[in-house]
Amino acid sequence: MNLPHDQFLAELAAILGPRGLSRDNDVVDPWLTDWRGRYHGAALALAAPADTAEVSAVMALCARYGVPVVPQGGNSGMSGGATPDPDGTALLLSLRRMNAIRTIDPAAQQAVCEAGVVLQALHEAAEAQGLRFPLTLGGKGSATIGGLISTNAGGTQVLRHGVMKAQVLGLEVVLPDGQIFDALTPLRKDNRGFDLKQLFIGSEGTLGIVTAATLRLVPAISDRIVVWAGLESIHAARALLLHCEAALGNAIEGFEVLPQPCLDAVLAYLPDARTPLNGRHAWHALIEVVATGDAVAPLRDAVEAALAAAFDRGMVQDAVLSASEAQAEAFWTLRDSISAAERARGPAMQHDISVPVAGMPAFIESASRTIEAAWPGTRAIGYGHLGDGNIHFHVGAPAGTERDTWESGAGKAISRRVHDLVTAAGGSISAEHGIGQLKRTELERLADPVRLDLMRRIKAALDPRELLNPGKLVALAPESGNA
């Protein structure tokens, strides 16, 4: 019998009560594998605190016993950032029970949410007040506010509204020693030195546990049209984006692209789905155009006029405008299912990359050529958020490949090459999915040493014993071999 270990668990149980602590494999196991099924961990126990005070008490206890803590929200992350190491020494800290929307203030257009609020629930609560939360993504039914903040998530409305960082007005964070940093009150002007809350946004639970946030809301939309357009090339997509921005300005909320093979994969994956256009096109664009308030010039007229001009200029081969909300949703379902459809196709190396928007079409073409020539039998596809310069660049393994050996062999070499190409193009190897455990070695290999040094110094100041989310994002000392 290991006495300190038993004492730790007994004290933990006293803090959390029976609803807040589990060691039952049936309960814990589903949370030990990441969404992509790439990482499998183990945990001492699953702790699910009911409020911030309990999180604080758990963190203080873990600090006292030197127990590592891995925070987790909806477990829908793409980089293995919420999966513990397989050694089973860490406590898995689920924020899912903290799912209260503490307040919604329609006049101030703000909501105070606990970390475990699911994105979809916030959408619905804001809508009930004639407002909306202007960030969305395919995983909205499981992704939580805490996870979205910890990874500084992006999604499909960044073009107009920015990433998660732009939506966070205030934050409540529990530090590794259990202290509560309360910066929930939003202030438009605040010059008391460092903007400390920014440290925790995008830090992937390595500096503190986000327990609540004050979030920005915007007016509800009064009308929306989703355009599905068939295009002859990715360059035409970029030209169409510029054209739509000039013609429709701020009314454009999203501009997503996918190549035909990606649409084919989605149609095969969703048996009831229908292709929006009859013909086949090298590329497809989904464009969301919205109106807010009531003084709206007919949106449909404006969109039709913009598209007619795009046809005249040869930017578009075919296009359809959603005729109803149901059709608009059906178009988005196709887009939001790409990730799952691609996952079902077999082993692939996924790269969540950004380069300056103007250079993205040429990047997709040349990177695809380079990779497919160097690794015969692979297929490279880029899809996603062209509007903000973030593409998901997936490289599928040759047919019949065994996943594990490929990912640690040729797949790994492919990822290094893709990241080299991105870095040479002045881009980022993680645009919206974070570093997690997936890209830690690559960050170390490619990041500016000054950036890495600053990150390590901040980590050392807040979590010198590396108890918070170990093995993710950045280690105090340089490491290798973990990707």
Query: Which residues sit at the interface with ligand MLT, rule CB under 6 A?
Result: 78, 138, 338-339, 350, 352, 384, 392
**Surface-to-core class of residue 135, CB atoms within 10 Å of its CB (0-12 exposed, 13-18 middle, 19+ buried):** buried
Contact 368, 360 (CB under 8 A): no
Please report how close the Cβ of residue 326 comes to ligand MLT at its closest, in angstroms.
Answer: 21
Smallest distance from ligand MLT to CB 342, Å: 7
The burial class, CB within 10 Å (0-12 / 13-18 / 19+), for 257 is: buried
186 binds, among Zn ion, ligand MLT, none (CB under 5 to 8 A by kind): none
Q: How far is the CB of 466 from ligand MLT (least distance, A)?
A: 28
User: Choosing among ligand MLT, Zn ion, none, which partner's interface includes residue 22 (Cβ < 5 to 8 Å by kind)?
Assistant: none
Distance of closest approach, residue 342 Cβ to Zn ion, in angstroms? 12
Nearer to ligand MLT, 98 or 285 (CB): 285
Partner from ligand MLT, Zn ion, none contacting 45, C-beta within 5 to 8 A by type = none
* Residue with Cβ nearer Zn ion (71 or 384): 384
Minimum CB separation of residue 288 from ligand MLT in Å reads 14
The H or E element containing residue 442 is helix 440-446
Distance CA 172, CA 152 (A): 15
Sequence-distant (≥ 6) Cβ neighbours of residue 471 within 8 angstroms: 85, 437, 440, 482
Residue 338 binds which of ligand MLT, Zn ion, none (CB < 5-8 A, kind-dependent): ligand MLT
Beta bridge partners of 284: 230, 258
- Which entry of ligand MLT, Zn ion, none binds 78, CB below 5 to 8 A by partner kind? ligand MLT
C-alpha dihedral (139, 141, 145, 150), degrees to nearest 10: -30
Crossing angle of helices 52-65 and 3-16, in 10° steps, is 170
Tell me whether residue 140 or residue 281 sits nearer to ligand MLT (CB atom): 140
From Zn ion, ligand MLT, none, which one binds at residue 138 (CB under 5 to 8 Å depending on kind)? ligand MLT
Nearer to Zn ion, 134 or 384 (CB): 384
Q: Which residues of 309-337 are buried (b: 16+ CB within 10 A; e: fewer)?
A: ebeeeebbbebbbbeeeebbebbbebbbb
**In contact, 394 and 381? CB cutoff 8 Å:** yes
- Measured from the CB of residue 352, what is the shortest distance to ligand MLT in angstroms? 6
End-to-end CA distance of the chain: 35
Q: Within 384-423, which residues bind Zn ion (CB under 5 A)? A: 384
DSSP, collapsed to helix, strand or coil, labels residue 133 as coil
Nearer to ligand MLT, 68 or 138 (CB): 138
Q: How far is the CB of 98 from ligand MLT (least distance, A)?
A: 25
* Closest CB 116 distance from ligand MLT, rounded Å: 21
Alpha helices, DSSP H only, in 260-409?
260-269, 299-312, 325-336, 338-344, 360-374, 403-408
Residue 147 or 384 with smaller CB distance to Zn ion:
384
Q: 85 contacts which partner out of ligand MLT, Zn ion, none, CB within 5 to 8 A by kind?
A: none
Task: Choose the contact partner of 71 out of ligand MLT, Zn ion, none; CB within 5 to 8 A by kind.
Answer: none
Residue of minimal CB distance from Zn ion? 384
Shortest reach from residue 36's CB to Zn ion, in Å: 13
Among the listed residues 126, 153, 150, the one whose alpha carbon sits nearest the alpha carbon of residue 137: 153
Smallest distance from the beta carbon of 379 to ligand MLT, in angstroms? 15
**Binding marks (x or -) toward Zn ion, 362..391, rule CB under 5 A?**
----------------------x-------
**Which residues are bridge partners to 394 per DSSP?**
350, 381
How many CB atoms neighbour CB 36 within 10 A?
Answer: 16
- Rounded CA-CA distance 340/337 in Å is 5
Nearer to ligand MLT, 20 or 154 (CB): 154
Alpha carbon separation from 431 to 315, 387, 421 (Å, rounded): 28, 13, 15
Residue 434 binds which entry of Zn ion, ligand MLT, none, with Cβ cut-offs from 5 to 8 Å by kind? none
Tell me the CA distances in angstroms from 252 to 53, 212, 287, 465, one per residue in order: 42, 30, 7, 46
Kindly tell me which of 85 and 336 has the beta carbon lying closer to ligand MLT: 336
- Angle CA 214–216–219, to nearest 5: 145
Q: Which is nearer to Zn ion, 259 or 384 (CB)?
A: 384
- CB-wise, 342 or 463, nearer to Zn ion? 342
Nearer CB in complex with ligand MLT: 68/254:
254
Minimum distance from residue 225 beta carbon to ligand MLT (Å): 21
Rounded CA-CA distance 412/344 in Å is 20
Per CB under 5 A, residues contacting Zn ion are 384
